[in-house]
Amino acid sequence: MKVVIIEYNAGNIQSVQYALQRIGVNAILSNDHATIKSADKVIFPGVGEASSAMRSLQQNNLHLLIPTLQQPLLGICVGMQLLCSFSEENNTDCLGVFNLTVKKFNTQSNLKVPQVGWNSIYNLSSPLMHQVPENSYCYFVHSYYVPQNNFAIATTNYVEPYASAIHHNNFYGVQFHAEKSAAVGEQILKNFMAL
């Protein structure tokens, strides 16, 4: 099986590679369109800020390629947010795979923003969450979130309930860092490989 991690300037690429190696998957890093198109599975990682991440994708026309991919694709953290149509982070137009707006956590709440650390996921559905127990803990680092919506396959509470994982056709996204979420994250990555 050929697994490609999209290489661009906003990827938490090494930790994703190590997590995949732990489950026996050697992934290729690439920003080459033909290589990405020929993959069986594509991972779209992301760390950092939405507008600079989008600019980095645009440098290699990856913003045109990603929405056209036909194989299973998993967006992680900012990678999930970029699959939406718009982010309030620097008013950024994103890839539009999901017709959703990424919002900033209300900083008037008594909770710290960004959310950093372990939090639970519940209301799990989709094969991506196979054998993941309800209320499992995953590792989060983010100030922006995707509100509850019809694509949600996991929910998390922080400031308010929000979609911590989404799915539409061959596109999947997780707000948490699956690659840093211990056994639960490993199970989710295994499930993605089995799709």
What are the tens digits of pLDDT across the range 13-59?
899 999 999 999 999 999 999 999 999 999 999 988 999 999 999 99
Q: Does the pLDDT at position 11 exceed 80?
A: no
Q: Does the pLDDT at position 90 exceed 90?
A: yes
Domain count, the chain: 1
Nearest to 143 by CA among 93, 88, 92, 184: 88
CATH (domain of 155): 3.40.50.880
Q: Which among 7, 63, 77, 167 is annotated as catalytic?
A: 77
pLDDT of residue 19: 96
pLDDT of residue 107: 85
Distance from C-alpha of 157 to C-alpha of 95, rounded to nearest angstrom: 26
Distance from C-alpha of 162 to C-alpha of 179, rounded to nearest angstrom: 21
- Interval 131-148 mean pLDDT: 98
Q: Would you state the structure tokens that stand for residue 62, as one six-digit string?
A: 């990856």
**Catalytic annotation on 186?**
no
**CA 131, 137, 143, 147 torsion: positive or negative?**
positive
Distance from C-alpha of 185 to C-alpha of 65, rounded to nearest angstrom: 27
Containing structural domain, residue 186: 3-194
**Catalytic annotation on 179?**
yes
- Interval 106-120 mean pLDDT: 94
Q: Does the pLDDT at position 104 exceed 80?
A: yes
Q: Which among 63, 142, 167, 177 is annotated as catalytic?
A: 177
- Interval 51-73 mean pLDDT: 97
pLDDT of residue 10: 79
**Catalytic annotation on 77?**
yes
pLDDT of residue 12: 73
Distance from C-alpha of 151 to C-alpha of 100, rounded to nearest angstrom: 9
